[in-house]
C-alpha cells in the first residue's frame, strides 16, 4: 500500500496520479541487484516448461554435452585422418621415385620399389583421406541434433538410440564411439524420462 507524498491520501495500486490532489505517483527505482536479477531471468533460455523436474533437466543437459563432445571428436579425427593420408601418400610416393631411379641399374629391384610405392601411396593415402572425409561429414551433421535437444528432443533421440549409427561410429570413429555409446545406453535405460520430456515439449510447443 502506498500514499501520496503531497497530500498523504492512499493511492490505489498501479495508479499514475493521486485521485485526491492529482500529484504524479513516484515509482520506486529498482536497485542494481534487482535489475541484474531481472535481466538474468529474461536472458535465461525458455527451453523448459515449469513441469520439468531436476532429473529431466539434467538428462537433457548431459545429452547436449555428450553430443558436443562427440562433435569435437569427429572434427579432430577428420583432421588426423586427412593429415595421415597425406603423410603416407608422400612417403610411399618417395618409394616410387626411388624405385624409378633404381630401375636404371636394376630393373627388378627398381620395379619392385616403384610398384610398392605407387600401390601403398594410393591405398594408404586414399584410405586415410577417405576416413577423414567421412569424419568431416559426420561432424557437419551433428549441429542439427545439438541445436534441437531443448526444443525437439525426438530428433536427437532417434539418432542417439539408432543401432545403425552405433555401428557407423564404431567403424569410422576414433574417440567419438565413447560418447555415442554413453548416449546410446542412456536412451535405452531412461525411457520414462524421455517420454516425459517429449510430452512436455509438445505441450510447450
Q: Which residue do the cell numbers 524421455 mark?
A: 194
58 assigned to some structural domain = no
Q: b/e per residue, 72-98, with b = 16+ CB within 10 A?
A: ebbbebbebbbebbeebbeebbebbee
Name the band, by pLDDT with cuts 50, 70 and 90, for residue 27: low
70 and 25 housed in the same domain: no
37 assigned to some structural domain = no
Our count of domains for the chain comes to 2
26 and 115 housed in the same domain: no
171 and 82 housed in the same domain: yes
What is the pLDDT, as a whole number, of residue 6?
65
Specify the pTM.
0.66
24 and 102 housed in the same domain: no
Question: CA of 185: how far to CAs of 99, 143, 177, 188, 191, in Å?
Answer: 52, 21, 12, 5, 11
* DSSP per-residue letters across 18-53: -TTT-PBPPPPPPPHHHHHHHHHHHHS---S-TT--
Residue 37 has pLDDT above 80, yes or no: no
174 assigned to some structural domain = yes
187 assigned to some structural domain = yes
What is the pLDDT, as a whole number, of residue 107?
84
Q: Average pLDDT for residues 176-192, to the nearest whole number?
A: 93
Residue 37 corresponds to which cell in the numbers above?
A: 536479477
Domain limits for position 3? 1-30
* CB burial of residue 169 (10 Å; 0-12, 13-18, 19+): buried
135 and 75 housed in the same domain: yes
6 assigned to some structural domain = yes
Amino acid at each position: 500500500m502506498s500514499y501520496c507524498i503531497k497530500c498523504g491520501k492512499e493511492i490505489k495500486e498501479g495508479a499514475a496520479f493521486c485521485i485526491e490532489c492529482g500529484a504524479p505517483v513516484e515509482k520506486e527505482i529498482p536497485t542494481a541487484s534487482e535489475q541484474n536479477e531481472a535481466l538474468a531471468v529474461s536472458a535465461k533460455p525458455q527451453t523448459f516448461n515449469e513441469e520439468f523436474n531436476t532429473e529431466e533437466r539434467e538428462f537433457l543437459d548431459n545429452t547436449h554435452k555428450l553430443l558436443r563432445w562427440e562433435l569435437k571428436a569427429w572434427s579432430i579425427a577428420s583432421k588426423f585422418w586427412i593429415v595421415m593420408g597425406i603423410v603416407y601418400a608422400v612417403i610411399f610416393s618417395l618409394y616410387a621415385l626411388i624405385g624409378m631411379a633404381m630401375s636404371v641399374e636394376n630393373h627388378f629391384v627398381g620395379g619392385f620399389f616403384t610398384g610398392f610405392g605407387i600401390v601403398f601411396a594410393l591405398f594408404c593415402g586414399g584410405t586415410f583421406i577417405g576416413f577423414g572425409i567421412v569424419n568431416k561429414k559426420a561432424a557437419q551433421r551433428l549441429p542439427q541434433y545439438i541445436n534441437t535437444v531443448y526444443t525437439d528432443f525426438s530428433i536427437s533421440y532417434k539418432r542417439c538410440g539408432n543401432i545403425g549409427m552405433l555401428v557407423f561410429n564404431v567403424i569410422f570413429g576414433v574417440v567419438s564411439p565413447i560418447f555415442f555409446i554413453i548416449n546410446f545406453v542412456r536412451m535405452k535405460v531412461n525411457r520414462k524420462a524421455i517420454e516425459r520430456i517429449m510430452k512436455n515439449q509438445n505441450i510447450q510447443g
